[in-house]
């Protein structure tokens, strides 16, 4: 299929925030108010959700004095009308596997731009397989995973590779990512997405094979390759200088990174390897911490995979719409390290940091900047990743406006 020349959409709004009444949606609205105002001079935007009274409350609490659109995620006609009103839709309506599919279908058909913060690889694969070709035809530009899932990972790897090429004249064939430090609260929306994924696996055992494949989000015909690192028990990483423990988001982030590699035609080499883990420190203490986290996480996932236990866990976990307080968001942060090695043995270490709670304070800023960057991008239609759709301009925006840093150590 030939390249489709993308035509500028003439729509009433530049951006519609769909799911503005959700926990992260409200944080995003406040960020857009502070960043772009409500007068439409830089960006014209609106808020959308299924409840008019709740939209009024969001407008009052965030200062989002912008147009409001009432639309339900399951109402195909309302979703089509929403798409017809805007150039780009930001969706915070999750779990996306339950509430996001009709919107993505409408986006692909209407030729809109789209960003979300999903961390559900099984749903992303379904959307790519169903609608990628139509998005290419209409010019729709769809970018999943524009939050803590998976911007720091995807952009961090891309940044590390660009730095390695500049310094050594060659990309890294191996990169290990370690979360050195992180502070943030849990959200009911994240919990709901995780529990829904467990429900899907219970109903469809074959889904385990999809979720277990690091190449699951690659382009069609490019969903296999060499075995990839997968930290499930404590292991020492000499390059990062730390004992490692499992990182709960690695299963999503690594898939997005390998989609980037696939879309870039394996520019980092057919044998490129990448893995993610939590850095627990060196020595005996680091090993003990790694053992503790590995056991605790394994126990939680084991319990969550059994339906009766999911019901019990649900009584103690945050409900959708709940999340960390504003003070907790401001006190949060993340510090992530990437250790890369080239084929000739040269090594490089980079760092990506954020100045807010990773899942909410920082995520809202990542999502907002992704949307504005995509509007100004000349990327063609299709399903992209943050790195392949947005690249260097996105990093520049994150550094200038969003409290994110990228640094070669």
Q: How far is CA 396 from CA 48, 149, 338, 388, 404, in A?
A: 29, 19, 19, 15, 9
Which SS3 state, helix, strand or coil, does residue 196 take?
helix
Separation between Cα atoms, residue 39 and residue 42, nearest integer Å:
8
Q: What is the pTM of this model?
A: 0.93
pLDDT, residue 301, reads 63
Residue 162: in which H helix or E strand, if any?
helix 151-168
Q: What is the pLDDT of residue 261?
A: 98
Joined tokens for residue 116: 């979300």
The tens-digit pLDDT sequence of the chain (409 residues) is 344 445 556 789 999 999 999 999 999 999 999 999 999 999 999 999 999 999 999 999 999 999 999 999 999 999 999 999 999 999 999 899 999 999 999 999 999 999 999 999 999 999 999 999 999 999 999 999 999 999 999 999 999 999 999 999 999 999 999 999 999 876 666 677 777 777 777 778 778 888 899 999 999 999 999 999 999 999 999 999 999 999 989 999 999 999 999 999 999 999 999 999 999 999 999 999 999 998 877 766 665 666 665 565 566 566 666 778 888 888 999 999 999 999 999 999 999 999 999 989 999 999 999 999 999 999 999 999 999 999 999 999 999 999 999 999 9
Residue-level pLDDT at 316: 56
pLDDT of residue 209: 82
What does each C-alpha distance from 270 to 173, 174, 274, 294, 343 come to in angstroms? 9, 11, 12, 31, 12
Residue 314's pLDDT is 60
Query: What 3-state class would DSSP assign to 8?
Result: coil
DSSP string, 101-158: HHHHHHHHHHT-EEEE----HHHHHHHHHHHHHHHHHHT-EEE---BTTBHHHHHHHH
Sheet architecture: strand order including 382-384:
68-70, 45-49, 13-18, 86-91, 113-116, 141-143, 382-384
Q: What is the pLDDT of residue 187?
A: 62
The pLDDT of residue 3 is: 46
Q: What is the pLDDT of residue 352?
A: 98
Residue 57 pLDDT: 97
CATH topology of domain 13-148+361-402: Rossmann fold (3.40.50)
The pLDDT, as a whole number, for residue 366 is 98
Query: What is the secondary structure of 261-307 as a DSSP string?
Result: HHHTTSTT-TT-EEEEEEE--SHHHHHHHHHHHHHHHHHHHHHHTSH
């Amino acid at each position: 299929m030939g390249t489709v020349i993308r035509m500028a959409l003439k729509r009433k709004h530049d951006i519609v925030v769909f799911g503005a009444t959700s926990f992260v949606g409200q944080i995003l609205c406040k960020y857009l108010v502070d960043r772009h105002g409500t007068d439409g001079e830089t960006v014209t935007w609106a808020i959308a959700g299924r409840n008019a009274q709740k939209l009024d409350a969001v407008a009052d609490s965030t200062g989002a004095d912008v147009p409001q659109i009432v639309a339900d995620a399951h109402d195909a006609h309302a979703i089509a009308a929403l798409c017809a009103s805007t150039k780009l839709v930001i969706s915070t309506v999750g779990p996306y596997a339950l509430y996001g599919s009709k919107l993505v279908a409408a986006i692909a058909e209407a030729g809109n731009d789209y960003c979300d913060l999903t961390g559900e690889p099984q749903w992303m694969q379904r959307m790519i397989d169903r609608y990628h070709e139509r998005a290419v035809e209409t010019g729709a530009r769809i970018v999943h995973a524009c939050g803590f899932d998976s911007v720091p990972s995807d952009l961090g790897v891309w940044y590390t590779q660009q730095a390695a090429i500049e310094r050594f004249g060659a990309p890294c064939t191996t990169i290990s990512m370690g979360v050195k430090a992180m502070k943030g609260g849990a959200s009911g929306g994240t919990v709901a997405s995780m529990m829904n994924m467990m429900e899907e696996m219970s109903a469809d055992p074959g889904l385990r094979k999809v979720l277990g494949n690091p190449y699951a989000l690659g382009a069609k015909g490019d969903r296999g390759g060499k075995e990839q690192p997968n930290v499930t028990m404590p292991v020492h990483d000499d390059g990062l200088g730390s004992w490692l423990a499992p990182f709960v988001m690695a299963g999503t982030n690594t898939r997005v990174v390998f989609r980037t590699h696939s879309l870039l035609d394996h520019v980092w080499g057919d044998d490129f390897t990448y893995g993610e883990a939590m850095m627990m420190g060196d020595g005996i203490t680091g090993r003990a911490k790694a053992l503790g986290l590995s056991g605790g996480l394994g126990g939680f996932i084991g319990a969550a995979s059994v339906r009766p236990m999911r019901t019990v866990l649900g009584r103690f976990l945050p409900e959708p719409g709940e999340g960390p307080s504003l003070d907790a968001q401001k006190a949060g942060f993340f510090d992530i390290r990437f250790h890369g090695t080239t084929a000739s043995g040269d090594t490089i270490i980079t760092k990506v940091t954020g100045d807010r709670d990773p899942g909410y304070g920082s995520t809202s800023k990542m999502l907002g900047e992704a949307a504005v960057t995509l509007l100004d991008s000349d990327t063609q239609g299709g399903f992209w990743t943050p790195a392949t759709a947005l690249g260097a301009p996105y990093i520049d925006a994150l550094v200038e406006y969003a409290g994110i840093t990228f640094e070669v150590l």
